[in-house]
Amino acid sequence: MGEILEMKGLLKEILIAVVIAFVIMQFIKPTIVKEASMQPTLYENNYILLNKQAYHFGEPNRGDIIVFHTGLKLENGKEKMLIKRVIGLPGETIKIAEGKVYIDDKELTEDYTKDGYTDGYIDNLKIPEGELFVMGDNRLVSIDSRIEDVGCVKIDQVLGKAFVRLYPFNEICLIK
Protein backbone atom coordinates (compact mmCIF):
# COMPACT_ATOMS: atom_id res chain seq x y z
CA MET A 1 0.00 0.00 0.00
CA GLY A 2 2.83 2.40 0.84
CA GLU A 3 4.42 1.73 -2.56
CA ILE A 4 1.20 2.65 -4.34
CA LEU A 5 0.99 5.95 -2.43
CA GLU A 6 4.65 6.69 -3.25
CA MET A 7 3.97 5.94 -6.93
CA LYS A 8 0.91 8.23 -6.95
CA GLY A 9 2.97 10.99 -5.33
CA LEU A 10 5.75 10.57 -7.90
CA LEU A 11 3.26 10.62 -10.79
CA LYS A 12 1.64 13.73 -9.34
CA GLU A 13 5.02 15.51 -9.14
CA ILE A 14 5.89 14.51 -12.72
CA LEU A 15 2.52 15.74 -13.97
CA ILE A 16 2.95 19.07 -12.16
CA ALA A 17 6.45 19.48 -13.66
CA VAL A 18 5.14 18.76 -17.18
CA VAL A 19 2.29 21.26 -16.78
CA ILE A 20 4.68 23.94 -15.47
CA ALA A 21 7.12 23.30 -18.36
CA PHE A 22 4.25 23.53 -20.87
CA VAL A 23 3.05 26.84 -19.42
CA ILE A 24 6.58 28.29 -19.42
CA MET A 25 7.09 27.27 -23.06
CA GLN A 26 3.92 29.19 -24.02
CA PHE A 27 5.55 32.39 -22.77
CA ILE A 28 9.29 31.88 -23.24
CA LYS A 29 11.35 30.58 -26.16
CA PRO A 30 15.10 30.06 -26.02
CA THR A 31 17.07 30.90 -29.16
CA ILE A 32 20.66 31.32 -30.32
CA VAL A 33 21.93 34.34 -32.25
CA LYS A 34 23.36 33.03 -35.53
CA GLU A 35 24.83 36.14 -37.20
CA ALA A 36 26.74 39.36 -36.54
CA SER A 37 23.99 41.84 -37.50
CA MET A 38 23.18 42.82 -33.89
CA GLN A 39 26.73 43.59 -32.76
CA PRO A 40 27.72 45.22 -30.44
CA THR A 41 24.51 44.40 -28.51
CA LEU A 42 24.41 40.67 -29.30
CA TYR A 43 27.08 38.40 -30.77
CA GLU A 44 27.03 35.11 -32.63
CA ASN A 45 26.22 32.18 -30.34
CA ASN A 46 24.67 34.34 -27.63
CA TYR A 47 21.88 32.30 -26.02
CA ILE A 48 18.83 34.48 -25.40
CA LEU A 49 15.26 34.13 -24.19
CA LEU A 50 12.26 35.56 -26.03
CA ASN A 51 8.99 36.67 -24.49
CA LYS A 52 6.52 35.09 -26.92
CA GLN A 53 3.53 36.94 -25.47
CA ALA A 54 5.07 40.45 -25.37
CA TYR A 55 2.84 41.92 -28.06
CA HIS A 56 -0.31 40.06 -27.06
CA PHE A 57 -0.41 42.24 -23.94
CA GLY A 58 1.28 45.40 -25.17
CA GLU A 59 2.53 47.36 -28.14
CA PRO A 60 6.06 47.25 -29.58
CA ASN A 61 8.35 50.07 -28.55
CA ARG A 62 11.19 51.68 -30.43
CA GLY A 63 14.37 49.95 -29.33
CA ASP A 64 12.79 46.53 -28.66
CA ILE A 65 14.86 43.65 -30.02
CA ILE A 66 12.64 41.11 -31.75
CA VAL A 67 12.86 37.80 -33.58
CA PHE A 68 10.50 37.47 -36.52
CA HIS A 69 9.50 35.19 -39.37
CA THR A 70 10.57 36.12 -42.91
CA GLY A 71 9.97 34.81 -46.40
CA LEU A 72 13.72 34.23 -46.70
CA LYS A 73 15.11 30.70 -46.89
CA LEU A 74 18.27 29.12 -45.51
CA GLU A 75 20.47 26.91 -47.71
CA ASN A 76 18.69 23.83 -46.31
CA GLY A 77 15.31 25.26 -47.40
CA LYS A 78 14.10 26.12 -43.90
CA GLU A 79 12.73 29.55 -43.07
CA LYS A 80 15.27 32.17 -42.05
CA MET A 81 14.27 34.02 -38.90
CA LEU A 82 15.88 37.36 -38.14
CA ILE A 83 16.69 39.24 -34.95
CA LYS A 84 16.57 43.04 -35.24
CA ARG A 85 15.85 46.23 -33.32
CA VAL A 86 12.53 48.07 -33.76
CA ILE A 87 13.30 51.48 -35.26
CA GLY A 88 10.00 52.70 -36.71
CA LEU A 89 6.47 52.17 -35.40
CA PRO A 90 3.14 52.00 -37.25
CA GLY A 91 2.09 55.33 -38.76
CA GLU A 92 5.53 56.93 -38.46
CA THR A 93 7.55 58.20 -41.42
CA ILE A 94 11.17 57.07 -41.71
CA LYS A 95 13.95 58.66 -43.70
CA ILE A 96 17.54 57.46 -44.04
CA ALA A 97 20.01 59.88 -45.61
CA GLU A 98 23.69 60.73 -45.25
CA GLY A 99 24.19 58.00 -42.66
CA LYS A 100 21.43 59.19 -40.33
CA VAL A 101 17.94 57.96 -39.47
CA TYR A 102 14.99 60.32 -39.11
CA ILE A 103 11.59 59.49 -37.62
CA ASP A 104 8.90 62.03 -38.51
CA ASP A 105 11.69 64.46 -39.55
CA LYS A 106 13.52 64.19 -36.19
CA GLU A 107 17.00 62.64 -36.13
CA LEU A 108 17.07 59.43 -34.12
CA THR A 109 19.82 59.12 -31.52
CA GLU A 110 21.25 55.61 -31.79
CA ASP A 111 24.12 55.00 -29.40
CA TYR A 112 23.72 51.21 -29.78
CA THR A 113 24.90 50.97 -33.42
CA LYS A 114 28.28 49.45 -34.17
CA ASP A 115 29.65 52.16 -36.46
CA GLY A 116 27.31 55.08 -35.74
CA TYR A 117 26.41 55.13 -39.44
CA THR A 118 23.38 53.81 -41.35
CA ASP A 119 24.03 53.12 -45.00
CA GLY A 120 21.32 53.23 -47.63
CA TYR A 121 18.70 55.75 -48.59
CA ILE A 122 15.00 55.77 -47.77
CA ASP A 123 12.90 58.80 -48.63
CA ASN A 124 10.01 59.32 -46.23
CA LEU A 125 8.57 55.81 -46.04
CA LYS A 126 5.30 55.77 -44.09
CA ILE A 127 5.20 52.60 -41.98
CA PRO A 128 1.86 50.84 -42.48
CA GLU A 129 -0.46 50.19 -39.54
CA GLY A 130 0.31 46.85 -37.90
CA GLU A 131 3.92 46.87 -39.18
CA LEU A 132 7.38 47.76 -37.88
CA PHE A 133 10.57 49.07 -39.49
CA VAL A 134 13.53 47.10 -38.10
CA MET A 135 17.31 47.25 -38.46
CA GLY A 136 20.30 45.48 -37.00
CA ASP A 137 22.74 47.36 -34.80
CA ASN A 138 25.61 46.40 -37.15
CA ARG A 139 24.11 48.31 -40.08
CA LEU A 140 26.86 47.53 -42.59
CA VAL A 141 26.06 43.77 -42.58
CA SER A 142 22.41 43.70 -41.53
CA ILE A 143 19.64 42.24 -43.67
CA ASP A 144 16.66 44.26 -42.48
CA SER A 145 13.75 46.54 -43.46
CA ARG A 146 16.02 48.54 -45.77
CA ILE A 147 16.06 45.52 -48.07
CA GLU A 148 13.04 44.85 -50.28
CA ASP A 149 13.01 41.11 -49.48
CA VAL A 150 12.42 41.95 -45.80
CA GLY A 151 10.68 45.35 -45.83
CA CYS A 152 8.43 46.36 -42.98
CA VAL A 153 7.59 43.49 -40.63
CA LYS A 154 4.00 42.69 -39.73
CA ILE A 155 3.59 42.58 -35.96
CA ASP A 156 1.91 39.17 -36.28
CA GLN A 157 5.16 37.83 -37.82
CA VAL A 158 7.03 38.56 -34.57
CA LEU A 159 7.94 35.39 -32.71
CA GLY A 160 8.99 37.23 -29.58
CA LYS A 161 10.82 40.07 -27.86
CA ALA A 162 14.34 39.34 -26.61
CA PHE A 163 14.54 40.07 -22.90
CA VAL A 164 17.54 38.26 -21.40
CA ARG A 165 20.94 36.94 -22.49
CA LEU A 166 21.84 33.70 -20.71
CA TYR A 167 25.11 32.82 -22.44
CA PRO A 168 27.97 33.49 -22.30
CA PHE A 169 27.60 33.20 -18.56
CA ASN A 170 29.86 36.19 -17.81
CA GLU A 171 27.48 38.36 -19.92
CA ILE A 172 24.12 37.36 -18.41
CA CYS A 173 21.90 40.43 -18.49
CA LEU A 174 18.53 41.91 -19.36
CA ILE A 175 18.47 42.99 -23.00
CA LYS A 176 17.68 46.64 -23.65
Tens-place pLDDT, residues 81-126: 999 999 999 999 999 999 999 999 999 999 999 988 999 999 999 9
Predicted confidence at residue 21, as pLDDT, reads 81
pLDDT winner (highest mean) among 13-17, 24-28, 100-104: 100-104
Q: Classify burial at 129, counting beta carbons within 10 Å of its beta carbon; exposed 0-12, middle 13-18, buried 19 or more.
A: exposed
Residue 1's pLDDT band (cuts 50, 70, 90): low
CATH number for 29-174 (one of 2.60.120.260, 2.10.109.10, 3.40.50.300, 2.60.120.380): it is 2.10.109.10
Measured distance CA(77)–CA(135) in Å, rounded: 24
Q: Is the pLDDT of residue 42 over 90?
A: yes
Domains in the chain: boundaries: 29-174
The residue length of the chain stands at 176
Q: What average pLDDT is seen over the chain?
A: 92
Contacts (Cβ under 8 Å, ≥6 apart) of 31? 47, 48, 49, 50, 67, 83
Contacts (Cβ under 8 Å, ≥6 apart) of 18? none
Q: Which residues are catalytic?
A: 37, 84
pTM: 0.86
Q: How many CB atoms lie within 10 A of CB 36?
A: 17
Residue 143's pLDDT band (cuts 50, 70, 90): very high
Residue 133's pLDDT band (cuts 50, 70, 90): very high
Average pLDDT, integer, range 50-71: 92
Residue 2's pLDDT band (cuts 50, 70, 90): low
Predicted confidence at residue 12, as pLDDT, reads 83
Q: What percent of the chain has pLDDT over 90?
A: 72
Predicted confidence at residue 15, as pLDDT, reads 85
Q: Is the pLDDT of residue 158 over 80?
A: yes
